[in-house]
Structure 1
Amino acid sequence: FRGLIVDILWMRADKLKEEGQFFDALQVAKWITTLQPRFAAVWEFHAWNMAYNISVAIPATQPEQRWRWVKNGYELLRDEGIPLNPKSIALYRELGRIFQHKMGGVSDDAHEYYKLQFAEEIGPLLASADNGLERNDNRYLEALIATPNEWSAISGDPNVAPLIQALRAADDKFAGDAGFVKNYLSLRQNPQRFKPEAGAVIEAYRGTPALKRFDLFAKNYQLRYEWKMDPAMMVRIGDKYGPTDFADPNRHYPMDWRHPDSHAIYWAVKALDVAILQKDREMTSHEVNTDRMVLHSLQNLFRYGQILITQGPPDPNTGAPGSKDIFLGPDLRFFNSYNSAYLAVEAKYGTDRGRSEAYDNGYRNMLKNALLSFYQSGLRNEALAIYKKLQSRYAFDEFKVPLEQYVRFRLKEELESIGFEDAKEQIMMLLINGYRLYALHEDDAAAGNERFAQEVWDAYFKEFGDTTRIDLPPMPVLRYYAIGQFLNSDAYPLYIREALLERIRIERPELLKQLEQTAGQLRQEMEQRQKTQTQ
């Protein structure tokens, strides 16, 4: 009888969706998950309805409301659907898709807001200043793995217990065990929300083993129980898919877990782990698409895996923090990880001609795009190595010409069908290589890169200038981001980066002034947005 009711409700939910009555469909989906919690398809529908349909039913002028529904969608799968259906590959994949497409993509007008909010929420859990461990340090996650998982273990630690008792005495918000960790993390980020005595406790314990240990515990606890993420698995994924060192391709850096595509890979790998454990399994479309998700996310991280968050000055009247902006730029360090992942997938589906051909087309396109990115960044040896892969693997006429001739052809081809990510990637690579060339006193070549970057920007805006959702920043802003990325990239020797700063300081003071003006304009724009939001 219950199954019959569920069937009727399921048809009703589908009809409501087709009619655009998304909120009504939401309620029906809730009924179904209550009646049949192990009906995986309805959890998938329920989450998709919230993250995609309901979110975009809200005006783009209310990004915080849109974000709430996107977040509701992925939290529903993560916190309820998957725990009740732990063997459903489809649910893991759908969760990864929300991260990859809805949050990591550009199809939603509020996509930058989603990216910023997500990065800001998880960011504080990815480093420990008390322990001197940074986000990009493998030792941080290793320290979390070595930290207790349970409240009873840390509260019973005689070295940490006095800190816990001091916080309880300082503020009633720490009175009970429930919510203690969340309140501690909030105190470290926003001390003004708590009594001054609570902040005084932190100051009194700063630098002590007790605070160092509890800080690691709190972040480990929050990652495990709130975000449902295992630090050991985060290390495993970083060791396999993380960005590589240009000097040593076998050395992987940690994933940037502020990036939605890193989370897409995490949940895709969870799905593949489930698939492997299934007895007498056949490779279903769910598994094929999950493998594809990993490859697509690695491509995305290659194209825009570097995250830069800028913040405007505090409000002069209230002292409130300035508004923030997020910019995602290319991270060429992901190429080796992508290439290794593709070759593993190719071996997995090697006897399946249809699947292997589909993957192969994507691989060839990625190699072509990566070649261009490396070449435009001035990393000719890396570009040449990729070109040799293309030549040895594909007997196509386009790969039978010299590298420079092929690059010219590809640039022409790109400009004729330029898209947002292509434009941003090309402009950033051209500008970064221009700075490298200028540091090496190759002034004519540097100027050529600058001119071509401007041509790409002009070509994009000629085609898409009225599409605000995927609007590129102005060229001065892109220059500002590009020089920051160049100066912080270990792909270029330190002496070259230092030479650039010295040349700009001595020979191009006007460029330094322009960069300072751009930084000032960005701050002013943030201030203006902040005023608008508070009106």
Structure 2
Amino acid sequence: MNRFRDTIICSVCVLIAAGFFFVAGRQLDAINAQRHDMKLIINQPLENAPPSLAFATVAMGAFRGLVVDILWMRADKLKDEGKFFDAKQLAEWISILQPRFATVWEFHAWNMAYNISVAIPASQPAQRWQWVRNGYELLRDKGIPYNPKALLLYRELARIFQHKIGAISDDAHKYYKIQFAREIGPIVGRATDEDFVRAMTAPTTWDALLLDPNMAEFTESLQEADPAFTEGEAFVKSYMALRENPARFAPDANSVIEDYMRSETLYSFGVFARAYLLKKIWKMDVGFMHEMNVKFGPINFEDPNIVLSLDWRHPDVHALYWASLGLKLGADEEGRELSSTEVNTDRIIIHSLQNLFRYGKIHFYTVQYYPTLEDGTESTEPRYMTDAFLRPDLRMFDRYNDAAKALLKKYEGDDGRVDSLGTGYRNMLKNAILSFYQARLTGQAARIYKILQDTFPRPEFTVPLEEFARNRFLEEIRETFGIHDAREQIESLLKESYYLFAIHSDDEAYGRQELATQLHDFYMAEYGDEETRRVDLPPMTELHLLSMQSFLEDQNYPPYLKENYLARMKLQQPEAFEVFQQWMEEQQAGKISSTPPPEK
């Protein structure tokens, strides 16, 4: 009897267990889908992984997750204690054990670019820059290749470019901008969009390049001329260095370049070299760069159908690229929930376009200074350093405006986010109206004022354009006069003064220049920093030269007006005219390079 009862109980238990297994099996597909969505799948093989990483990801088996959890908790504790160098080592171990753990790549890069870099004194900007570069290279070269659809990593990479390098919060931000432009400038400094289009069809490998007999002959000539020209990446880097600094190479190498000067072969190899380095070193796709030019490139006011290239030396352009690429890779997920990461990535795009409008033109110039010696006295021997100045690019407004409207439409129904985005959009419209108005582009200013009135119907926006611009100018001076406002206001006032001088309104012209000087002096007295030069403006002489160039290149001013200005300047201000003429000749001769000059 007892045996029969035990048999029944065992049978029932087996049936119940079988039922549980059946129900659990029915849930397996849903669980696997969630694991995939949360990127917890670790059994997929890593492509192009180094042997140490490939071994670590399989050797520890089921215990790997436990070890990663312990290391991550320890790294988080070290971060809270301010022990950033120790946390860096743990983050490296975690990234080896769990390369698809996107959060650790984000933390690791942020720790290097922000925490470790600022632990180094601002008097050692080169060491600071090395850690900032380590941060973005880690994400670009390792984190993203192992996690190609992790939007979090694209957002963090874009944030480093926009905030750490492009903004002014770090005392060494000018040094970062100079070094960044010095590294990428030889590749993209003078590239047009046509160059990017041509690069899309260029060979993608060294072997493919040599299939062209003309290219094979050209490369062999350089290899015979100088042993620095080997093959592949080393050859391409030597070629770029030769074009930037011919004195570093044998005279025969320069002779080869002269023999091929203005030939299709030399141009085609230059296109290949730039595309090769962009892909190999910078991990950038020239096809997507062309898409960025088409979508976000500056507007040609004379012919909007002409595609102008973005300035790829500018950190905000790289923020725009990586944020857009991250969103593009995630856009194929239909019905996806708009996470906070996606919202913040969208904001980076909007802020990058706004930054490019406010200071999208970048200029490098040499500054003479007298360093302080160890005994506290000032040296009598001058030294020279490179400085950077960023100024407004009004051609970027329509790109910003289109993106802002698209973003507001994307988040329709989310009142909180729409209100926040709308506030930023309204403030940007107000700033843009003033910028265009002071540049005497009253037609553009009136058009933007109409957008402001239609989008945000408020009593303060019903006054005439002239009154609105005056009120906005006074508001900025009193409340929000920072470096970006200073740049815009001073250049706009100087350009307006040249216009007035050209039409013989001399009193008004000198009044505008005096106001620009007063704004410069006011800003430097209030915000200038002699020790770090973090938010300093260039001298007024340099600002005059830049603004004159901007005035003469502005298609919105008719040619006869510019001719009047130059003729009057040559007659009444011969010394200033001679300085400007020499400065322009140096630019046209390439002495003022698209790449910052080396330190002296």
User: Please, what TM-score do these two structures have when normalized by structure 2?
Assistant: 0.80
Matched, 1:223 2:278: yes
Instruction: Please list, as runs of the form range in 1=range in 2, the aligned pairs for 1:365-514 lying within 5 A after superposition.
Output: 365-417=427-479, 418-466=481-529, 468-509=533-574, 511-512=576-577
| Gap regions ≥5 residues in structure 1 | 128-133, 314-320, 520-525
Please tell me whether Structure 1 or Structure 2 has the larger radius of gyration of its CA atoms. Answer: 2
Q: Is the 8 A contact 2:242 2:248 kept in 1?
A: yes
- 1:156 alignment partner AA: L
Query: 1:237 aligns to what?
Result: 292
Percent identity over the alignment is 52
Instruction: Please list, as runs of the form range in 1=range in 2, the aligned pairs for 1:158-237 lying within 5 A after superposition.
Output: 158-237=213-292
Against the structure 1 CA distance between its residues 506 and 178, is the aligned structure 2 distance closer, same or farther, given a 3 Å change threshold? closer
Q: Is the 8 A contact 2:529 2:535 kept in 1?
A: no
* Aligned match for 1:350, one of 395, 412, 417: 412
Please tell me the root mean square deviation across aligned C-alpha atoms, in Å: 2.5
Distance (whole Å) between structure 2 residues aligned to residue 416 and residue 235 of structure 1: 42
- 2:545 alignment partner AA: Y
- 2:551 alignment partner AA: F
- 1:194-248 CA-to-partner distances (Å, cap 9, x unmatched) read 3333333323333333322222111111111211111111111111111101133
Query: What SS does structure 2 have at the residue aligned with 1:174?
Result: coil
Q: How many residues matched?
A: 510
Against the structure 1 CA distance between its residues 174 and 516, is the aligned structure 2 distance closer, same or farther, given a 3 Å change threshold? closer
Deviates more, 1:491-500 or 1:334-343: 491-500
Distance (whole Å) between structure 1 residues aligned to residue 365 and residue 385 of structure 2: 8
Cα shift at 1:159: 1.6
Distance (whole Å) between structure 1 residues aligned to residue 468 and residue 315 of structure 2: 34
Against the structure 1 CA distance between its residues 195 and 24, is the aligned structure 2 distance closer, same or farther, given a 3 Å change threshold? farther
Query: 1:121 aligns to what?
Result: 183
Cα shift at 1:439: 1.6
- 2:112 alignment partner AA: M
Distance (whole Å) between structure 2 residues aligned to residue 397 and residue 303 of structure 1: 27
Q: Is the 8 A contact 1:415 1:459 kept in 2?
A: no
Deviates more, 1:271-280 or 1:24-33: 271-280
Against the structure 1 CA distance between its residues 367 and 252, is the aligned structure 2 distance closer, same or farther, given a 3 Å change threshold? farther
- 2:504 alignment partner AA: H
User: Please, what TM-score do these two structures have when normalized by structure 1?
Assistant: 0.89
Instruction: Please list, as runs of the form range in 1=range in 2, the aligned pairs for 1:15-34 lying within 5 A after superposition.
Output: 15-34=77-96
- 2:285 alignment partner AA: D
Against the structure 1 CA distance between its residues 533 and 198, is the aligned structure 2 distance closer, same or farther, given a 3 Å change threshold? closer
| Gap regions ≥5 residues in structure 2 | 1-62, 369-382, 585-591
Distance (whole Å) between structure 1 residues aligned to residue 303 and residue 599 of structure 2: 47
- 2:459 alignment partner AA: D
Matched, 1:275 2:275: no
* Aligned match for 2:168, one of 106, 121, 143: 106
Query: What SS does structure 1 have at the residue aligned with 2:228?
Result: helix
Cα shift at 1:414: 0.6
Distance (whole Å) between structure 2 residues aligned to residue 466 and residue 324 of structure 1: 17
Cα shift at 1:95: 0.6
Q: Is the 8 A contact 2:193 2:307 kept in 1?
A: no
Distance (whole Å) between structure 2 residues aligned to residue 311 and residue 471 of structure 1: 14
Q: Is the 8 A contact 2:356 2:393 kept in 1?
A: yes
Cα shift at 1:465: 3.6
Query: 1:316 aligns to what?
Result: none
